[in-house]
Every structure is written in structure tokens, then in C-alpha cells.
Amino acid sequence: MEREVVRKLTLLCVGCGLAGVVLMGVMALRDGKREWKQYQVRYNELLLKKFTRASNPALYDRIAGMQPEIKQVVIDEWKTVDRCMTCHMGIEDPYFAENKLPLKLHPDAQLLKHHPVEKFGCTICHGGQGFATTYAGAAHEAIPHWPVPVVAKSLMQSRCGICHKDFEAIGADKLIKGRALFQEMHCAGCHQIERQGGAVGPDLSAFADKDPGSFSFANVAGEHSVQNWVIEHFRDPKKVSPGSPMHLPAMNEDQILNLANYVLSLSQRNLPRQYTPKVRPGFVLPKVDGITPEAELSGAAEDAAAGEQRL
């Protein structure tokens, strides 16, 4: 009887050992096929084609000996960890100006010069989930429970406007046009921005800081992101928000994108001093509307009436 028990236990141990070996093998295979490792291997292969060993043997051998590794930058001021450069290996490499993403040089070298990756990271401008190491996990498209997916190219200026309020100084044409549209359509008649404007509609002062969970996507086609909600809302506000009193004139797609860029730039984020952008001497933040708000008109009328009574 004891011998039979020992035999069964031995078989069980052997079976568990074999299962463990198989699982370790599967894990090793999966680990070797991770997306970011494939990109880094490809980066090294392409880089080694840019020059010969004879031209720079030390550099050639160093690149040839590089092993895949997680690359990250920690930005304490933003409480952010960005690992985007684990895949985007060529982001600061001029050799990769003509390559395709993710192994491609940043398209604006001058912009990157003033916003170096080691100081700013990537997600502060581009959005996305910086500590992920997969395409899906990095929120290149909207994912559940992550507020800001990677920002579409057409809306990138909205991210500039979160920090830079002097749109003219940075040449942000979409923000300039979007702000002008906001003024021309007298949106401030219903919406406040930094205590300017009406109170009929929601306060937009910190619109860019809102979580997607505060929006209804029941009538919104496409991804569940604030970016997409804003665009669809400007196309047809009554469809996206049934019962809304909001009226908008017909706008073309460029106007919708310009206005969306402006509204998505409205943030009350507190910037650390070393990240606060400089502004031109004498710069004053433009008013949200050139028309005097109704409340101020009423107050002026009351003052005038009181003056007449005193006379």
C-alpha cells in the first residue's frame, strides 16, 4: 500500500515538474516575441546599416552587442513614468528621419529641442498610457479606464495650449482660429472660462481635465474619448446631448477641428515653475468674448438708474 502511494506521489511530482518546464518554455518563447523587443532588434539592424565597422569599430561593436531592454524616463514633476521610447527608439535619432513609425525621428526637431524627452517625456504632449509596453496598452486608441488616449494629429495643438496660452507666440494656427470662432459665435454667452461668460451651460475652464466617465457616449459613434465626444458634439449637439439648448451654426470640418482644439486646451493644471512657458512682454490673455456679458449690462443699467434718482 505504501509503495503504491509513493509511486503515485512520484508520478505527480514528475508531472508537475514537466508542466513547470513546459510553462517556463512557453514564457520564454512569449517573452522573446514581445512587441518592443522586435522593434529594438529591428532598430539595431537598421542602425548597423548606416555605417561600417571599419569606419567606427567601437561604436559598431557596442551597437551589435546591445540587448533589448525597457527604456523609460521618470518625470517627478508630472508624477509620470514614460516608456514610449522603448518602442520609439528613433525618436531623437537623425539617422531615422525617413523611417516609418515607431522607428522614426520626431517630425519637428526644433520642437523636440525645446521639449527634450528626458525632461518632458512623451505623454504630457501626446497623451497615452506611458508605462505600457504594447501598442494596445499604450492607449494608441481609447481603452477602458484610461482618460487620455494618444492624441490625434489633427488635435495636437490642443495639447500645446494646455501649457502655452500665447497662441500667436508658438504659431498655433488651429488654436488661434478656434479661439476666434469661440468669440465670433459668442459661446461665452452661455459658457464661462476663468470667470468670464455666462452660466447657462457648463463651465469650460477645466474642460481638458475632465474624465471621460463624466460624458455620455450613448449617441456618439467611434471611440469613447473626450476628443471624439467634442468633435461629434460640435457636429450635432442635439444628437449627442438630447434636450440640450445649445445652438451652433453649420461648420465645416476645419472649423470643427479648430474649435475642438481650443476647447480641449482649456485646463487649470498647475505647472511646476521650471515648466511654466515664457510669454512675450506685455502679453495679456484675450477675453473670451468682446461683447459685454448680460450681468454687467444689468449692473451698469442699475447704476445709471440710481444716478438719475440722485439727480
* DSSP one-letter code for 85: G
Q: Is residue 305 scored above 50 in pLDDT?
A: no
Please report the pLDDT score of residue 294 as a whole number.
Answer: 47
- Cis bond before residue 293 (omega within 30° of 0): no
4 phi-psi bin (left φ>0, alpha ψ -120 to 50, beta other) = alpha
Q: Is residue 209 scored above 80 in pLDDT?
A: yes
Query: Model confidence at 70, in pLDDT bands (50, 70, 90)?
Result: very high
| CATH 1.10.760.10 location in the chain | 152-301
Nearest to 135 by CA among 96, 87, 103: 87
Q: Which residues pair with 82 in a beta bridge?
A: 73
Query: Model confidence at 3, in pLDDT bands (50, 70, 90)?
Result: confident
H-type helices in the chain, by residue range? 2-32, 35-48, 57-64, 109-114, 117-120, 123-126, 156-163, 167-170, 173-184, 226-235, 237-240, 253-263, 294-310
CB 130, CB 121: distance < 8 Å: yes
Nearest to 115 by CA among 78, 151, 145, 79: 78
pLDDT, average across residues 134-159: 96
Please report the pLDDT score of residue 17 as a whole number.
Answer: 80
Treating both helix axes as pointing N-terminal to C-terminal, what angle do 173-184 and 253-263 enclose, rounded to 10 degrees?
A: 90
CA distance 76 to 118: 11
Q: Which range scores top for mean pLDDT: 5-14, 227-236, 275-284?
A: 227-236
Q: Is residue 300 scored above 60 in pLDDT?
A: no
Predicted confidence (pLDDT) per residue in 181-205, tens digit: 999 999 999 999 999 999 999 999 9
Q: Is residue 121 scored above 90 in pLDDT?
A: yes
pLDDT, average across residues 28-57: 87
CA distance 236 to 47: 49
Predicted confidence (pLDDT) per residue in 262-284, tens digit: 999 999 988 888 888 988 888 88
CATH 1.10.760.10 fits 152-301, yes or no: yes
CA distance 285 to 48: 50
Q: Is residue 82 scored above 90 in pLDDT?
A: yes
Please report the pLDDT score of residue 297 as a whole number.
Answer: 43
Q: Which three cell numbers stand for residue 248?
A: 451652433
User: What do you get for the CA distance between the two ends of the chain, in Å?
Assistant: 118
The alpha carbons of the chain give a radius of gyration, in whole angstroms, of: 28
% of the chain residues with pLDDT over 90: 68
Mean pLDDT score across all residues of the chain? 88
Q: Is residue 43 scored above 80 in pLDDT?
A: yes
Please report the pLDDT score of residue 50 as a whole number.
Answer: 87
Nearest to 90 by CA among 103, 72, 106, 81: 103
